[in-house]
Amino acid sequence: MISVTANELKKGGVTALEKAMQSDADHQVAIDVRGKAKYMVLDINEYHAFREYELDKAIKEAEADYADGKFSVVDDFASLAEELKQLSEAE
């Protein structure tokens, strides 16, 4: 994985990112801020593949929960909405 400092990005802009991405086989670039990787830039195709992986994983988890009976049926959406509202206000 290649990294670019925030200062290099500030000076070079998108050109600095493109140059770094071309020199990395995975087309991924970390942006370092104060010596630590803080952001990750991915090629758009890599991003789409990552999102697809995340969605597939979520679907598999939901299917497993359903198969194991780990779900509940909501009949009263108004009371559920109120319960969720109270939970969010408590945080």
What ranges do the domains of the chain cover? 1-42, 44-91
- Secondary structure class of 43 (helix, strand, coil): coil
E runs forming strands in the chain: 2-5, 28-33, 36-42
Supply the pTM of this predicted model: 0.66
What CATH number does the domain located at 1-42 have? 3.40.1620
Give the model's pLDDT for residue 9.
Answer: 94
Q: How open is the CA angle 30-25-59, to the nearest 5 degrees?
A: 75
Contact 20, 2 (CB under 8 A): yes
Of the candidates 11, 13, 6, the one whose C-alpha atom is nearest the C-alpha of residue 35 is 6
| pLDDT, one tens digit for every residue, the chain (91 residues) | 899 999 999 999 999 999 999 988 888 999 999 999 999 999 999 999 999 999 999 999 999 999 999 999 999 999 999 999 999 998 8
